[in-house]
Amino acid sequence: MEMEKKSLTIFKLKHRNETWIGIKNYYPNNSWELIKSLPDSKYSKTHACWYIPYTKESYQSFQKLNIAFTCTPNIGTIGKLSPNDALTDIEANTSNSSVPVVRKFNKDDDIIGDTANDDLRIRWTNKKIFIKMAYNKEDVSFLRSLTKSYWDQKQLIWIIPATPNNIVKIQKYFAAWNNAEYQKIIKLSSIRDPKTVTFFTSPEYPNKLLIKLDGFGASVSKIKQIPDRKYDKYYKKWIVPWSQTIYKQLKDYYHEMDYSIMDRVPRNKNDYEKELRTHHDRLQYLHNKYPIGYREKIVNYSNLLLRQRYSWKSINSYTGKLAKYIEFFEGRDIDLLTDTDANNYLSQLAKKEVSNSLLNVTLSAIKLYYRKVVMQPSFHIERLERPRKRRTLPTILSVKEVDNILRSINNLKHLCVLYTIYGGGLRLSEVINLRVQDVLWDRNQVQIKAGKGNKDRMVMLSQSLKELLQKYFNEYKPQYWLFEGADERSQYTSSSIQKVVREAAKRAGISRKVTPHTLRHCFATHLMDNGTDTRYIQELLGHKDIRTTLIYTHVTTSSINTIESPLDHLTRKGYTVKKRNS
């Protein structure tokens, strides 16, 4: 039976956060039965209309009912009706020519939703969204509001980063993709941008827990429930009061939400100082390095050094020098040797053209053994002869050369290490042993714990270094050691820092040998050049004897620059000019 033809209207409907094809206006009751028979058709009391999925298949099923209808964009609020970009017959069935004809084009494997019509074309790739459309002031305003969108003048196309937020906004505004395509795009985008939460601390914020959230749709609702929380817009991190309860609650919350958790909050120091084994284990390892024949002497000697609170570096060095001394007198008991025998050994060692420092360490190790372990009256310690001191001047770089070295470094961590050495005059071992808690942010100081000679001291924390450390703490999030190794738990190695300095000097065009200690020398010399009192420099460097600090008076330019060379004096008076012209 032929049905009475009356007008029916279809339109784009936004309902329950999804897009549908809405069906409205009067039609004989028996025809509503046909609409009810459509797959997934439903009735909305809110909108007083029937609706079916916004897909090509649903639209084609509706067309097969042979019901007369018109299509209008004026009903609803979410833009033009083009389900699955395939409503090829709508324009023919409506008097409203503002609804565009949309055709589906072939697409490559890495492209989703490549659509085209006279007014709009949208293509998604795994990195960007390309939109070509007829000019419309409202549409252009919307595209400009998207993150990092821009107009390509040459291609006459809008280019937008394919971030999840941009994708959601474009789908809501244009309904560019069908539901299957849209879900696939969101899923792929989320895989590239997973939800991650990072917990860490910084000396800049004592007694605070810092939180960074990354990934599409990351939730901040739990954090916003915490009183006195703050948000740092520049570094995009949350700052909340520290408490074990808050820390645990947030970890549990994001764990249940299936976030990837990066925990950079410091734990027990034993987790980081794993190389600092017990004294017993260290001594056992040291003793096992030497033959049983004279191990007892090494044991007694190393126990003495440990009681005297020598550093482990000194214990290793002194026991090694004593072992070579014992091996030189193979078959003889060193407890019965005389000071003459010891001097003969030092003479033989000097013939090998070893450095003065090695001779001095060897002599000190021997003297300590006979003074503290054996204490033999016939051994005259005062007769042991040290090598004559050779006064060598340290390698010094100009301020410009130091600047060139620092400018040649692009790695933030490497730059922070060199800033710390030069900015505070630290030894290599001291910068390696720096802990996060040693940075006294509010006092603008860095505390050096157990430096050379087992002495603590304070050095300045320069403003330039503080600004750099702000970036460093937000990027690297160190837990215990200020400068961590590749495992993000142990200390940075001395060889790595030496390599950084060496390569930076090479890039800066400096042919002289430059080491981390060279930067310490430069720190002291440049302070002296600027007129800083020698006593203050001594304290900053941690020198026991002022004479050690005075070595820099031989390389400073502060005094030399005030003295006029006799040659310049002659030249200024014109004597050398006359001689040259005669």
Describe the strand order of the beta sheet including 230-232 as a list of residue ranges: 230-232, 237-241, 208-214, 196-200, 260-263
Contacts of 449 (CB under 8 A, 6+ apart): 433, 435, 438, 456
Dihedrals φ, ψ of 143, to 5°? Answer: -65, -35
Residue 459 burial (C-beta neighbours within 10 Å; 0-12, 13-18, 19+):
buried
Q: Count the residues in the chain.
A: 582
List, as one string, the DSSP characters of 405-474.
HHHT---HHHHHHHHHHHHHT--HHHHHT-BGGGEETTTTEEEE-S-TTS--EEEE--HHHHHHHHHHHH
Q: Hey, which residues are catalytic here? A: 427, 452, 517, 520, 543, 552
Residue recorded with tokens 């270094």? 465
The strand pairing partners of 230, in sequence order, are 239
The strand pairing partners of 151, in sequence order, are 158
**Four-point Cα dihedral 134, 138, 139, 145, nearest 10:** 140
Residue recorded with tokens 């003048």? 153
How far CA 176 is from CA of 53, 124, 181, 184, in Å, comes to 15, 10, 9, 13
CA 239 to chain centre: 18
DSSP SS3 for 255: helix
Q: Is 207 left (phi over 0), alpha (psi -120 to 50) or beta?
A: left
Measured at the alpha carbon of residue 441, what is the angle toward residues 435 and 444, in degrees to the nearest 5? Answer: 110
Contacts of 474 (CB under 8 A, 6+ apart): 202, 212, 235, 237
Residues 6, 69: contact at Cβ < 8 Å? no
